[in-house]
Chain A
């Protein structure tokens, strides 16, 4: 069990003008499942590798349980890591792969035997211990990689996109296994992914990264419902939040296209009239109605695409004043391309961002 603290952690590679990770300040509580989420190249893997001790830290402080570990080699940090490629030793059996780290730590042979057998049983690998990695399926390899980390009983578990090489069905089941494992072990886990579904389903908290910096940290629902900026709003959610160019119409009124929306006080700080803003609304919050219907602010446009996914239908509407808007409707929605519709959302569903993209939502105490 361990608390991991990152204080202004920065990584600048030699010859690179921009840091790969910059000013990362984050505290990961004991037993927490923290997910580092972001697009490719946002610095999440670099951050994980700095925590692991596989990359040197350019500046800032990394502490585990209050002890500064910047200069502590990877082997002495008591951290285990599950790699994207599994990184199983191909010349060793499953059993030897799992025991490899323990042998180096001078654990007795009987204790190694006991631990490997116990973890193999938990992960359903008991019948595969004498096989070599090439004789295993992708899911089995992933479980061996997990087992190799678990047998060491480390302070912290690190996961670097461990599910990205699995097919969709296996990804879902392995995701469930990792979640169950976290509940069972209660260990501190840091998990890197670019997959928002993994982040939302696994994380106690999510740290969303963009361009080497932390964009937002919070619980999955908090970051989804209250994005700190337009990047988070656009990155989380599939389809992502609709973002429209807008201007302040004074106080808490926002004009987007031909509509003026009065945003509730808990969603927006007052702004000066004429200020350029961005208005955001989640696709699931937008209702479709008759184009000729009146009453309340809305956006009229023509349906240009209907994507039927079975359980739901994604509808893309081209509005003449605010551009393309996406809405999520039930699977059996009767809609067709070319139809004129009106999109409306409850005023509480709107999010407002300033010119630099930051949310205008008042900070909660």
Chain B
């Protein structure tokens, strides 16, 4: 009976893994084949494997620049989001002040707006401030669009921290500022890691704001770079897949680095 059960579970898990990882494996295989080979047979194995496509994309298709731009923009945005979001969430969760819940509601309510609604006004604002077509402008926009979700996730975590901890730190002689850095933030690391991963992945793949707010080749991010291989009448599927594989590496690195904390953050409170 136990063997049947185990086999059933393994079958279900294998099917789900195939479903989830299948497209990734397919894209990985495509990245080692040329577009001509792919047009002949979409599902064939790479034979021979064209590893030279990776340096080709990196050096000859400007991927090095796009990659560096993406890294700068996303790391800066995630850093600002993490610091500002944690502080705001701690403040909203910990301190009682007038309009606390109103501020929280207003912040959170911005999540309901689809990005298409704000993009024209954001474009105008960035042009007005001379930030259009700059990485700084894109960083600020990314911070603005992701801050409500970041605060929402972190606030619910900070609110669960017992107030006795903060009282104990006050009795130990620490100021509010020190309590945030030395007590609240270290304890909230699993939740912070969750927001870091979420923000990193979302912003790393972000296309809409980047395509509207960046036109200069020198400031383009990776998703825009991949778009270069899509023409009006044809697309270089092989190079798109290679670009995707290059783009996905940082996401895997970030996930591997923070995944343990991410799981802790998602399961916090589930067990005593």
A75 pairs with B162, CB closer than 8 A: no
Instruction: Decide if the interface of chain A is mainly helix, strand, loop or mixed.
Output: loop
Encoded as 1 (CB less than 8 Å from any A CB) or 0, chain B from 234 to 255 comes to: 0000000000000000000000
Interface string of A85-117 (1 = CB under 8 A from B): 111011100000000110011000000000000
CA separation between A244 and B173, bound complex, in Å?
A: 52
Stretch at the interface among A32-40, A76-84, A328-336: A76-84
**Closest chain A CB from B186 CB (angstroms):** 4
Q: In whole angstroms, what is the CA distance A296 to B169 when docked?
A: 63
B49 to A: closest C-beta gap in Å: 46
List of A residues within 8 angstroms of B172 by Cβ: 75, 100-101, 104, 148, 152
| Nearest CB in chain B: distance from A295 CB, A | 59
- Asked if B232 lies at the interface with its beta carbon under 8 angstroms from chain A, I say no
Q: How far does the Cβ of B174 sit from chain A's closest Cβ, in whole Å?
A: 6
B101 CB to nearest A CB, Å: 15
Are A104 and B170 interface neighbours, CB within 8 A?
A: no
B193 to A: closest C-beta gap in Å: 13
The reply on B164 being an interface residue by CB < 8 A is yes
CB of B217 closer than 8 Å to a CB of A: no
Could you tell me the distance in whole angstroms from the C-beta of B162 to the nearest C-beta in chain A?
A: 5
Least CB distance, A195 to chain B, in whole angstroms: 19
Question: A5-46: contact bitstring with B at CB < 8 Å (1 yes, 0 no)?
Answer: 000000000000000000000000000000000000000000
- Docked CA distance A128–B187 (Å): 21
Q: Does B171 contact A (CB under 8 A)?
A: yes
Instruction: Give Cα A87 to B172, complex, Å.
Output: 12
- Are B162 and A104 closer than 8 Å at their CB atoms? no
Question: Once the chains are docked, how many angstroms separate the CA of A105 from the CA of B174?
Answer: 9
Give B183's nearest chain A residue, CB to CB: A89
Q: How many of chain A's residues have a CB under 8 angstroms from any CB in B?
A: 24
Residue of B171, B173, B187 with highest tally of chain A CB at under 10 A: B171
Q: How far is the CA of A230 from the CA of B92 in the complex (A)?
A: 45
Is the Cβ of A91 less than 8 Å from the Cβ of B174?
Answer: no
**Taking the complex as formed, is A54 at the interface, i.e. its CB lies under 8 A from any CB of chain B?**
yes
Query: A209 vs B171: C-alpha distance in the bound complex, in angstroms?
Result: 25
- Verify A75–B170 contact, CB threshold 8 A: yes
Given contacts A75-B174, A87-B162, whether A81 and B168 have CB atoms under 8 Å apart is yes
For B173, give its contact among A83, A87, A90, A105 (CB under 8 Å). A105
What residues of B have a CB within 8 angstroms of the CB of A85 in the complex? 162, 164
Partner of A87, one of B167, B186, B189: B167
- A89 CB to closest chain B CB (Å) equals 6
Expressed in whole angstroms, the minimum distance between the Cβ of B187 and any Cβ of chain A is: 5
Q: How far is the CA of A43 from the CA of B121 in the complex (A)?
A: 55
Q: Is B15 an interface residue (CB 8 A)?
A: no
- For B187, give its contact among A79, A81, A84, A89 (CB under 8 Å): A89
Q: What are the residues of chain A within 8 A of B168 when measuring CB–CB?
A: 81, 83, 87, 89, 148
B165 at the interface (CB under 8 A from A): yes
Of residues 171 through 204 on chain B, the ones whose CB sits less than 8 Å from some CB of chain A are 171-174, 178, 183, 186-187, 189
Residues of B within 8 A of A105 (CB): 173
List the A side residues contacting B162 at CB < 8 Å. Answer: 85, 87
Interface residue A52 (Cβ < 8 Å from any Cβ of B): yes
**Chain A residues with CB below 8 A from B167, complex form:** 49, 52, 54, 74, 81, 83, 87
Segment 158-195 of A: residues with Cβ below 8 Å from B: none
Q: Is the CB of B165 within 8 A of A75?
A: no
Task: For the complex formed, measure the closest distance between the CB of A90 and the CB atoms of chain B, giving whole angstroms.
Answer: 6
Give the Cβ gap from B158 to chain A, nearest Cβ, in Å. 14
Q: For the complex, give the distance between the alpha carbons of A10 and B101 in Å.
A: 29
What 4 pairs between A and B have smallest CB-CB spacing? A101-B172, A87-B164, A87-B168, A75-B173
Contacts A52-B171, A75-B171, A80-B171 aside, 17 further interface pairs with beta carbons under 8 A come to: A49-B167, A53-B170, A74-B167, A74-B170, A83-B168, A84-B164, A85-B164, A87-B162, A87-B164, A89-B165, A89-B168, A90-B187, A91-B187, A101-B172, A104-B173, A148-B172, A152-B172
Q: Write 30 A-B pairs (CB below 8 A) sorted by A numbering.
A: A52-B167, A53-B170, A53-B171, A54-B167, A54-B171, A74-B167, A74-B170, A75-B170, A75-B172, A75-B174, A81-B167, A81-B168, A83-B164, A84-B164, A87-B165, A87-B167, A89-B165, A89-B183, A90-B187, A91-B187, A91-B189, A100-B169, A101-B172, A101-B173, A104-B172, A104-B173, A104-B174, A104-B178, A148-B172, A152-B172
